[in-house]
Chain A
């Protein structure tokens, strides 16, 4: 595996090119993400964060530039199941039980039944939902559904996690606990995480680097190293360096012409 998880060079994306509703979603994106990094993309709605994640995941094709994922084309990386995408909406299949939802990627990848069941138990346990395996998604709250989606993302052990505002719909308490769980998983597994968020505290708390973006056209205006000590704990949130980094990100967003929060 290459030491770079993601490389983007001059990447641009224009939707509906040539028609009256043409949108330049991204322009001149240069970004290199090392294996094992935790990188957050932050910026206001419409600045192309989701589009950038989809480009990396080969769910959308670039209009310009070059992308590399784990040293391969994004297409090759998708075929190799190198990444898992976690969307803002849990997107659980309502006709499958929680356990069967977690097993979905394993089924598609041809993993045998015993192994599927073992792994779905393991990862439901990880998100503390083991006893809900036989429930249907509608019987779970929004926060629980999102944790199932995270278990489904982790269950096939992808090297790269692409997370699009995964905690956006959660209440503050659940959100902070999920952040801790994700930190823990990231530290133990050494996965690379690309994490989209609207929230400055969330970006600073989780990341090794924060990528600041601005809209029309979507571009990267700043990249801020978050060199707070690892592991991040409850105390991190009350430390002075944490507040200083939040101020730095907030100012970078303001400098980009974006009034946030």
Chain B
């Protein structure tokens, strides 16, 4: 793993002209950000009435996430602390309005006017103290407080984040809840270290019973370790990778060990399972 950019320099320094250009010309990054933004929009759960909504893109960068908003027919305001990233957004003629600003200073937006907010790969930056005057807790508080106020009641905010640690994820979540938000974590691809993606889904105003958008596991073999219930929030593990993961077995099939384990599991549940023998998990001849 390359080291995390937020440890290298403050965002407005790290995302300078050359990094902003590099970031936006990488087809891999463009594709990943588009996919994350698409998923975040889905989790925003806007009414399906074909009426465009007025959204915020926090840490909008060069406009990759905003473009997904436009493609879905909505209007947006993008906020970013890096002038270089915003310049690239201008060059790319994004449709949203851009603001140079620091989310840690709070959003200067009137109460109740925004229909929803997304933030893709940006909020983890807030947990750093880049200047001696920076106190991450105060900055998180200012940010979530102002975000809560500017959203209309019932609106959602969806953050895709790369928390550096469990403590950091908790810090972010705690400040969101303290600001008045309800909601919790949605995890896509929980079993893949590479593809695992976390979304903080927050609801403003109405009390959510649960945020249940993650695609639930349905099989019985999910007694692994994905129940990381946070104290306050709701954790929802979604199962987007399950089918692919099942296919990712060697050509010889899943192997004898796997079959034996599954049979044992099933036996423990009280099912009627054939006894193990030397034929167990053997491949049949192609002409059986």
Same complex for A and B? Answer: no
Chain A interface (Cβ within 8 Å of chain B)?
Answer: none
Chain B interface (Cβ within 8 Å of chain A)?
Answer: none
